[in-house]
Amino acid sequence: MIPVLIDVLAWALVRVLALLLVVLAAGCGGGGDDGPTVVAGFYPLAWAAEQSIGQAPGESSIMPEVVNLTPAGAEPHDLELSARDVERVRDAELVVYVGGGFQPALEEAVAERDGPSLDVLLTAEERDPHVWLDPVRFARIVTEVDAALGAGSSSVDVFLELDALDQEFRRGLARCERREIVTTHAAFGHLAARYGLEQLALTGSSPEAEPSPRELERLIDDVRASGATTVFAEPLVSDSVAQTVAREVGVRVAVLDPLEGLSEERLEAGEDYVSVMRDNLAALREALGCR
């Protein structure tokens, strides 16, 4: 059996059936005059919903529309909801979001709705919300969205794609000269744990956090001691801290994408969750000296 599929089936026995009962009890929900919608907090959750809806049985004319509340190219941590957004959350057939304070405005709106909502974190106390960067964990999320939308086990192609991605990471990161990655913010803990890497983050879980001068000195010393050849910046936030640390240590800056959002240009160019994750793998292999 394929590892991701085995993991998904085990996960489904515990959580997905319970979610189905919640959805059935709540009814099909309302989409207002615009038709049924699935509201996602930001890009990877919208991608997961789109994969499930594309596989769901029934007539395409009644399939829900996926609404990504975070505009293309925007940072999801900064999400503020308009009155229209709050209405969409209230009327959605399903809301998929990351709890734990990742998008507080959305969590407040979810608390006011009656329909089913899916928080993709295991517990409210989970410290690293970036669960979608682990392909195995992300497959579990797709399973839950699948079940909530009535797609059942029809999204096999999606699971095969995520399993292939997981296998590529396992092979690609198996033999590397280094195991420590230096990132702008602490977004890659789940990915690092899955593939035996260690994350050294320049800031905390929020990319806007700025280290104090004393913290910056310590970070420079830590990066120098790690032997890292690369400091990873991100597409959606300033790379000033990464550039400063890299300049002081004498290493290069590269991009590692936490996939919190893609710009319109990248979406129009055909980039998606899988292609960006493969770009991340290539960047990691180069930075870590993998063979």
In 3-state terms, what secondary structure has residue 155?
coil
Using alpha carbons, list the distances in angstroms from residue 14 to 10, 119, 219, 220, 232. 7, 15, 41, 44, 37
- Indicate where the chain has its CATH 3.40.50.1980 domain(s): 3-164, 174-288
Cβ atoms of residues 202 and 243 within 8 Å: no
Tell me which long-range contacts 245-254 makes (C-beta under 8 A, separation of at least 24).
Answer: 245/182, 245/202, 245/216, 245/219, 245/220, 248/220, 249/220, 249/223, 249/224, 251/223, 254/230, 254/283, 254/286, 254/287
Region of 56 on the Ramachandran plot (φ > 0 left; ψ -120 to 50 alpha; else beta)? beta
CA 110/CA 131 separation, integer angstroms: 20
Is this structure's pTM higher than 0.95?
no
pLDDT value for 290? 98
Q: How confident is the model at residue 92 (pLDDT cuts 50, 70, 90)?
A: very high
Mean pLDDT of the chain: 86
Render pLDDT for 135-171 as a digit per residue (tens, 0 to 9). Answer: 999 999 999 998 888 755 446 788 999 999 999 999 9
> What is the distance between the terminal CA atoms of the chain, rounded to a whole angstrom?
27
Domain 3-164 has CATH 3.40.50.1980: yes
Q: Which CATH number fits domain 174-288: 3.40.190.10, 3.40.50.1980, 3.40.50.300, 3.40.50.2030?
A: 3.40.50.1980
